[in-house]
Amino acid sequence: METTANVLTGPSARPGLLDRERTIAGPGYNRWWVVPAALAIHLCIGMAYGFSVFWLPMGKLIAETSPAACAHLGFLESLTTTGCNWTVPQVTHIFETFIAMLGISAALWGGWLEHAGPRKAGFIAALCWGGGLVVGGVGVSMHQLWLVYLGCGVLGGVGQGLGYITPVSTLIKWFPDRRGMATGFAIMGYGGGAMIGAPLAVALMKRFSGVSAQGVSTTLMVMGAIYLIVMSAGAFSFRVAPTGWKPLGWTPKASSDGAMITQRHVHLDRAWKTPQFWLVWGALFLNVTAGIAVISMASPMLQDVFGGRLVGVTDAAAGLSAAQKAAVIAAAAGLVGLLSLFNSLGRLFWASLSDRIGRKNTYSVFFILGIVLYCLLPTWGHAGMAALFVMTVCIVISMYGGGFSTAPAYLADLFGTQMVGAIHGRLLTAWSAAGIVGPVVIAAIREGQLADGVAKTMLYDRTLYIMAGLLFVGLICNLLVRPVDEAAFMTDEELARERSLQHSAAGSGGGGNPETAARGAFGVIGVAAWLAVGMPFLIGLFIALAKAVALFR
């Protein structure tokens, strides 16, 4: 008699709704449908860049509190206090926590994702990110900071990590002819998520300010529910390409000795032990660290360097009226909105360009051009050339975003596509490290300059020159990247075993046939899917441009 276990695990067992086998594309599918699914997830988790809109309101949850009475409060006491407001530094640890958890979770579960498939991983990401915001909202309503850290930071960070890497492997296998452009589209969503999420959060806090203190807790819960629904829709829309699938009329370039693009595959367990992995890790870490330097200090840097010159007051000794101060702050806010735009669009532009000039050359452009631009920024500032200063910062941030979007294709070129999602997950620890180290180093340099009595107009010079030096080290790392040694690639037997674990060749009704799968028309489904993600993005784009107008008045 057949046991229950045999029935459940035997060949006749029907895969579950979330299993990879249920996501293999049939003949009517179109590969361009998967891009909106990826964008839906990244536009939601991209709210990470817009979380700063919560910092000040979260520090004003208790209406009547004495700063003097709460001055003695230590960090551990602040986690559970219900009688003292939280400080801005305490709540900003939320951002640091979910960026750290992003890299950790992507590294830990990247290998599992390759076997589980994008639908299951994407749905769990939706539960973690959306559910984490809801838990964080409950923590805010109870004024329990530890619960906010747990919800938004830890649980939300896991959702960030899984959500970030879920589309990567899928897109690269659907677009072997345009790897950079495909991942650029998805990761562009992460850069643009704040353009949509931040204004939405501000509007919701204003709407719910009468329901809860500052409207923060209700806003977090509502946004968590919205993100859960949107990300789940994206996850259930994913389909994976059968093994061996390729676009009609496309032929892979034959590999040659010394070629940077391989048609073979390296296992995760070997990839992260190669020098190529750590050189790319170092290049990404240094590019991100330099970019974070500008992002984290963009608003105060513009105000400190130019001050009244932004509103036509050239006399540094002259005081500013309340209206002029408001105009300066509005201009600085305009720069932040403009940087969100360039961070997002740069991800698509540079990744698409890398399809033409190569990933290594693209990263070299990031570093060489970045060194020049970082060294020019102090000159533009001293000369009072605000327009050139803003333009330079925007280009720098576009390359910051481009570093993220080009990295998955760089890894696929070096290590093959079979486990690129898992390898990319390990690489994202560079982002986590930069997200922790970068702001600490930058703050220390700034405080040291202030202690030395450096004028505000020159306060950021040393930081910018140091960032240029870091980019030079990153350039060296990138130039040292060479093709992976033959011994690292999987044998045919190892590759077949890995594909069996991923159920890559499973399918029915044409779903497992690489010759017939995904030959459907773009059609109404494609138009509807692209409109669903495109309209919110365009609204966010309009809001960012509207804010940027203050820079040029």
DSSP assignment of 459-494 equals TTHHHHHHHHHHHHHHHHHHHT--PPPGGGBPPHHH
Domain 21-63+75-246+521-553, classified CATH 2.102.10.10, yes or no: no
CA distances to 34, 379, 446 from 454, in Å: 52, 16, 10
Is residue 317 over pLDDT 60? no
Quick one: pLDDT band at residue 318, thresholds 50, 70, 90?
Answer: low
Count CA atoms closer than 13 A to 490's CA, side-chain side: 21
Is residue 6 over pLDDT 50? no
Is residue 511 over pLDDT 60? no
Over range 477-506, report the average pLDDT: 84
Least confident of 31-45, 191-205, 402-416: 191-205
Is residue 230 over pLDDT 90? yes
Query: What is d(CA 476, CA 395) in angstroms, rounded to the nearest whole number?
Result: 21
pLDDT at 547: 80
The values of phi and psi at residue 70, to 5°, are -100, 0
Instruction: Give me the percent of the chain exceeding a pLDDT of 90.
Output: 51
Query: What is d(CA 476, CA 364) in angstroms, rounded to the nearest whole number?
Result: 9
Over range 396-424, report the average pLDDT: 94
- Count CB-CB contacts under 10 A for residue 521: 9
Query: What is d(CA 58, CA 61) in angstroms, rounded to the nearest whole number?
Result: 6
User: What is the reported pTM?
Assistant: 0.87
Contact 411, 427 (CB under 8 A): yes
H or E, element range at 494: helix 492-502
pLDDT at 545: 86
CATH number of 270-295+356-486: 1.20.1250
pLDDT at 394: 93
DSSP for residue 65: -
Which residue carries 């890299």 as its tokens?
103
- What's the chain's average pLDDT? 86
pLDDT in tens, 126-176: 999 999 999 999 999 999 999 999 999 999 999 999 999 998 889 998 999
Is residue 64 over pLDDT 80? no
Where are the domains positioned within the chain? 21-63+75-246+521-553, 270-295+356-486
pLDDT at 481: 96
How far is CA 459 from its chain centroid? 29
Query: What is d(CA 545, CA 535) in angstroms, rounded to the nearest whole number?
Result: 15
Query: What is d(CA 263, CA 254) in angstroms, rounded to the nearest whole number?
Result: 8
Is residue 7 over pLDDT 50? no
Query: What is d(CA 120, CA 20) in angstroms, rounded to the nearest whole number?
Result: 8
Q: Which amino acid is at 392?
A: T
pLDDT at 47: 93
Which residue carries 């963009």 as its tokens?
298
Is residue 257 over pLDDT 50? no
Query: What is d(CA 40, CA 112) in angstroms, rounded to the nearest whole number?
Result: 22
Which residue carries 């676009």 as its tokens?
247
pLDDT at 115: 87
